[in-house]
Structure 1
Amino acid sequence: MGSPFKDCGCAKPTRCPHSCSVRFRDALGNQREESGYGTLDDAIERLTQLYAEKKTTARTVAAARRELGQPTVGEYAKQWRPRQRRMTDCS
């Protein structure tokens, strides 16, 4: 489901003071990363929590979340257009 890791170049990564990260796939299937865990055990506990949450979510709820996370091109265009700078104002 996911993997805990340390992204440092220490010779002994199990004893270094750097924080741990986890990499996993969310409900939409996108790869995500979370960091800031003090130990590998904390990172593994978070992965376990994510896995349990994924298993207990009803299929209808998961399908609704996937559908809400994927806007159509028209909906995206309506959000994108007002954020763009007007080129005629400065020319």
Structure 2
Amino acid sequence: MRMLLNIRIPHEPFNNFVREGTVGEVMARILEETKPEAVYFTEQNGTRGAILIVNLNDPSEIPSLAEPWFLKFNADCEFRVVMVPEDLKKAGLETLGWKWK
């Protein structure tokens, strides 16, 4: 299942990793481990943020996606199910429209 992983990263300890020059190494390790389909870095409510598109085969995989962000950056993580247009085509909206008229 395709999921959007929304991450809000507080200033600390991230700033400390930047000062030490190790933030790139830590980020690379997390991304290498989680293998996201896509990654976008952005600002979220005045703090650093990231949006990852990940594939989830089983709900038991959620900790392996979230814990690196929790443990290394004290980040907040939110998961949302997302669809690409092909997924939406399979949803049967035409049938649902008739059923719930």
| Larger RCO (alpha carbons 8 Å, 6+ apart) | 2
TM-score of Structure 1 vs Structure 2, range by shorter chain: under 0.3
The structure with the larger Rg is 1
Higher strand share: 2
TM-score by length of structure 1 reads 0.26
